[in-house]
Structure 1
Amino acid sequence: MGDVYLEHSQRTRSAKFKQYIACFAATIALFDDGLMYVWLSPVIPKLIAGDSGISITSEQESWLTSMLLIAAPITAIFSIQSIRLIGSKNLILLSNIPMILSLLLIIFSTSVIELYISRFLAGMCDAMCFVGAPAYIGEISEPSSRGILSTCIMISYNLGAVITLYFGYVLPLKTYPLYCLPAPFIMFILFLFMPQSPSYLVSKGKVEEAKKQLEVIRDSDICEEFADIKTSIENDVNVFANFLNLFRVRANIRATYIIFMTVFIWHCSGFIIMAIYLHTIILEAQIKLPETTSIVIYSLVQVLSGIASTFFVDRYGRKPLLYISCTGTAVCLCALGTFFFFKNMNYNVESVTILPLIALILYVFFVSIGLCNIPIVYTSELFAYNMKNYAGALFSLSYNLFGLGANYLFLVLTKHWGMHVLFWTLSVATLFGVLVTYIWLPETKNKSIIEIQNYLSSRKSKVSLRKSYVDLTGKS
């Protein structure tokens, strides 16, 4: 009896280890993406000042910050078909090409035109990563670890962003991309040896290979899961018909608006504004600390909070984290708005310039434990196997389209009304996320993809949602 238990325990650890390694390798692509996504934050002040050999106007700044956000939705649409043809793993591998070209363009740039093209290529890389990675992780991982592994996407992205926020500031414009160049090559080599997604193998007629692949990364009976994969792929239709299914199949409709809702709330928190304009905001606040010190503190809290969320998301569930994240973020944004209000009213705020840094640190803590991760988790688990290519595409589309709106909001509100109006507006919008979470968002903790699909297909949404919460927590 003891030998059987020991053998099962070893098999469980082996399966879990293989899942974690495969998902970790996939998220290296998001680390590379993070290196480039927030690159403009430390670089914009240099470009405006003309300290880097290339100077830009305010109009060019607007185009430069928007170029990535324009490219990503366009690429996401094409990635829908690409992931069907080549699979999520190969799409992630191909994301290295625009990444490398983007870095090379910065290194050899002589005018703002090359920077425009570089940012467009960075947007292509971003879309390919966020379409491919959630789909891949959603398939490779099992329900008990899917939340943890999905949050690793943003942890990896945040690590890349942290490095950029500091080294992109202290290193010259063309030197920093040179140090980043080996990253996509390392990622390609490591991820090349990872398992292929089972649904892609089934779609290519490699049924036995897909079954063996699934057995290797699971510690339990795979019959039900594999049968569901086969059924989804066998019932698959062409791209156009699948696209229509987004609007005529109840489970897909609900999954789509859940992703859109969570991404919208995420952008209401001002996360992308912080990613692009963090250096500008810190300079405007006139914090009495070296700018690099403020950036390092902010960045470390962002990474550590993201890591902490991996332990909370599968233990406490998605909704409780969103409640805490939305409320805490809204309070911090309100505090930032209040500081900038008194500053703009010419009150003497020199003695309290440490307050915006404290508010920023608490802000990045609260936004990172929930709002930054739950949309990714939902993206990886809400859609059936034959629709997972749409999950990542919908995420990328909504993220970057709402990002364009947030970027425009920043430029307009700060120019005409000031920072305080911007932060107060974001605070009210983020607080609205608590209501959205309570009414519309499901709790998917420890649920299989089949169970989630059954819930999304149910017409008794409030009843099933309440029952789901009671079953999971034991609370009435």
Structure 2
Amino acid sequence: MEDTEQTINRDFSYSKLPEISLSNNIKLLEINIENNEEKSFLPTKTSMEGEIETEDKKNNVESTIKPGKLWFSREFLVQFGIIYVASLLMFITGMHTGWVGPTILKLSSNNSEIPLTSTEVSWLAAMVPFGGGIGPTFGAILANKIGRKNTILLTTVPEIFTWITVILAKDSYCLCIAQFIRGVTGGSAFAVIPMYVGEISSPKFRGIMGTLSVLQHHAGLFFETALVPYISISSNAGIAITIPTFLILVFIWMPESPYYFLMKNQRENAGKSLRILSQNNKIEKQLDQLERIVQEEQNEVQNFTEIFRVKNNRVSFILCLGIMSIQHLTGFVPLLVYAQLILDKSNSPIDPYISGIIIQGFGQQLQRNGRDKDGSYGTFA
């Protein structure tokens, strides 16, 4: 028995690995693991992320920018500046409606510069909606014929002459003509501005860019409502004329939509616009993608009648028409236009001009809460 135990112990002692050898092996194993991680031989997290990274992400500037810094990137600032200037046309359009309410109250008074009867007041208030009914058709046609940028500029030019007409007006006819022209240009603005904003803004910024034009419209409306009561009509026109003048002088240097250039088979010009808008020289993949989208849309939509012949287009048209009709049939616009005059006739203890400013402020807030923040569309990817 003792011999057997001695034999087992002896065999066990011979079979043990030396401590030095075992520690060396462990160290070598650790070194190998570290080397494998550095060389990405093992499927580590870093290597897996690199394997699934697409070429589009590599070529996109936003892949190198943290999400929190996107809003302060050059791309965002450039697009925001361009759209802010373009959206001044929406500010001007808001001024059309804001100008009417306090102006008709002034012109209906006994010491009016241009005395108006109740019938003339009604015509003056109706001219902007009347012109606005035909304006979008011109805006859409011109946008496809001469470009989005040129349409915005062409729409802004008559605004200068309408304010000059107001300064020189001696009767209600001149004011009505000026308001009708404003209605046409305002309707054109509602057609071309969302088009331009959607096409030049990248998807990650498109929501806030679309909201900007809506806010500009409400700001213009409130601006005139607050300004007109405290200065003369001609002085107000002199101040208002500076806004379309500024818009023309600045916006003439802005880029055209790359979408429009591709519609006209001007790929080189589209590339130049895209480089400015994205602040990136690697735009070939974006340009190819945009070109495919333009081609698909041109193949799908051949003429105007397809709005009614294709079921999806027909449903979309009916929904949009219904929503816009409900919004205007509520009487929101007539209420804003006649608010000061109604309050004056009702002998309200509050000054009608102050009441008008309050109504405009609350009315804009309610309308803004009920409106989609991203009313724009586009294909700039």
Structure with higher Rg: it is 2
Contact 1:52 1:172 in 2 (8 A): no
Alpha-carbon deviations, 1:204-251, whole Å to 9, x = none?
Answer: 32213313433443489967764454245445669x942112122344
The residue number in structure 2 matching 1:366 is: 366
Q: Pick one of 371, 374, 377 that aligns with 1:377.
A: 374
Separation of aligned partners in 2, 1:109 and 1:85? 34
Choose the corresponding residue for 1:89, options 142, 146, 149: 149
Please point out which of 318, 338, 350 is paired with 1:289.
Answer: 350
Instruction: Map 1:331-350; keep pairs closer than 5 Å.
Output: none
Whether the aligned pair in 2 keeps the contact of 1:101 and 1:121 (CA below 8 Å) is: no
What is the aligned counterpart of 1:243 among 304, 313, 322?
304
Judged with a 3 Å threshold, the aligned counterparts in structure 2 of structure 1 residues 96 and 55 are, in CA distance, closer, same or farther, namely same
1:62-211 equivalences under 5 Å are 62-211=122-271
Is the 1:37–1:161 contact (alpha carbons within 8 Å) kept by the matching residues of 2? yes
In the alignment, the residues of structure 2 paired with residue 79 and residue 72 of structure 1 have an alpha-carbon distance, to the nearest angstrom, of 11
Q: Is the 8 A contact 1:215 1:222 kept in 2?
A: yes
CA–CA separation in structure 1 for the residues paired with 2:277 and 2:354: 43
Q: Distance in 1 between matches of 2:201 and 2:322?
A: 24
Other-structure match for 2:325: 264
Q: Equivalents in 2 of 1:168, 1:48: separation in Å?
A: 14
Indicate which of 65, 71, 80 corresponds to 1:8.
65
Paired AA for residue 93 in structure 2: D
Q: CA deviation at 1:370?
A: 2.3
2:138 touches 2:188 (CA, 8 Å); kept in 1? Answer: no
Separation in 2, partners of 1:242, 1:89: 23
Over residues 97-155 of structure 1, what are the superposed CA-to-partner deviations in whole Å (9 max), with x where a residue is unaligned?
Answer: 21111111111111111111111111122022111110001111233322221121121
**1:25–1:194 Cα contact (<8 Å) kept:** no
Q: Output the CA distance in 1 between the equivalents of 2:201 and 2:63.
A: 23
| 1:32 and 2:85 are equivalent in the alignment | no
Does the 8 Å CA contact 2:166/2:174 hold for their aligned counterparts? yes
Q: What is the distance in 1 between the residues matched to 2:304 and 2:289? A: 20
TM-score of the superposed pair, with normalisation by structure 1: 0.60
- How many angstroms apart in 2 are the aligned matches of 1:285 and 1:225? 60
Q: Which amino acid aligns with 2:136?
A: A
2:341–2:352 contact (8 Å) kept in structure 1: no
Write the distance in 2 (CA, Å) between the matches of 1:205 and 1:274.
47
Matched, 1:41 2:97: no
Check whether the contact 1:91–1:132 (CA below 8 A) recurs between aligned residues. yes
More displaced stretch, 146-155 vs 108-117: 146-155
Q: Secondary structure at the match of 1:51?
A: coil
Question: CA distance change for structure 1 residues 75 and 296 in 2, over 3 Å: closer, same or farther?
Answer: closer
Q: Deviation per CA, 1:375-432: give whole Å up to 9, x if none.
A: x833x22xx76xxxxxxxxxxxxxxxxxxxxxxxxxxxxxxxxxxxxxxxxxxxxxxx
Alignment of 1:276 with 2:333, yes or no, is: no
Distance 1:5 1:24 in 2: 22
Query: How far apart in 2 are the matches of 1:91 and 1:5?
Result: 32
Residues 200, 222 of structure 1: CA spacing in aligned structure 2 closer, same or farther, 3 A cutoff? same
Structure 1: 5+ residue stretches without partners? 303-360, 386-447, 450-476
What residue number does 1:460 align with? none
- Cα RMSD (Å): 3.1
Distance verdict in 2 for CA 1:251–1:217, change over 3 Å: farther
Deviation (angstroms), 1:298: 4.2
1:276, distance to aligned residue in structure 2 (A): 1.2
Instruction: Give the direction of change, closer, same or farther, for the CA distance of 1:149–1:163 in structure 2 (3 Å limit).
Output: same
Instruction: Give the match's secondary structure for 2:113.
Output: coil
Q: What CA distance in whole angstroms lies between the structure 2 residues aligned with 1:190 and 1:37? A: 25
Q: Say whether the 8 Å CA contact 1:11–1:219 is kept in structure 2.
A: no
Q: Contact (CA 8 Å) 2:199, 2:257: kept in 1 or not?
A: yes
C-alpha distance 250-231 of structure 1, shift in aligned 2 (>3 A): farther
User: Is the CA contact 1:147–1:377 (under 8 Å) kept in the aligned structure 2?
Assistant: yes
Unaligned runs of 5+ in 2: 1-45, 47-60
User: Cα deviation per residue 1:50-94 (whole Å; 9 max; x = unaligned)?
Assistant: 532212222222222222222222232222221111111111111
* Cα distance in 2 between the residues matched to 1:5 and 1:266: 39
Instruction: Indicate how the Cα distance of structure 1 residues 193 and 75 shifts in structure 2: closer, same or farther if over 3 A, else same.
Output: same
State how far apart, in whole Å, the 2-side matches of 1:53 and 1:65 are: 18
Q: Which amino acid aligns with 1:365?
A: Q
Aligned mates of 2:265, 2:347 — CA distance in 1 = 61
Partner secondary structure for residue 242 of structure 1? coil
One-letter amino acid matched to 2:208: I
Instruction: Identify which of 315, 337, 347 aligns with 1:254.
Output: 315
Measured in 1, the distance between the counterparts of 2:286 and 2:304 equals 24
Distance 2:244 2:365 in 1: 29
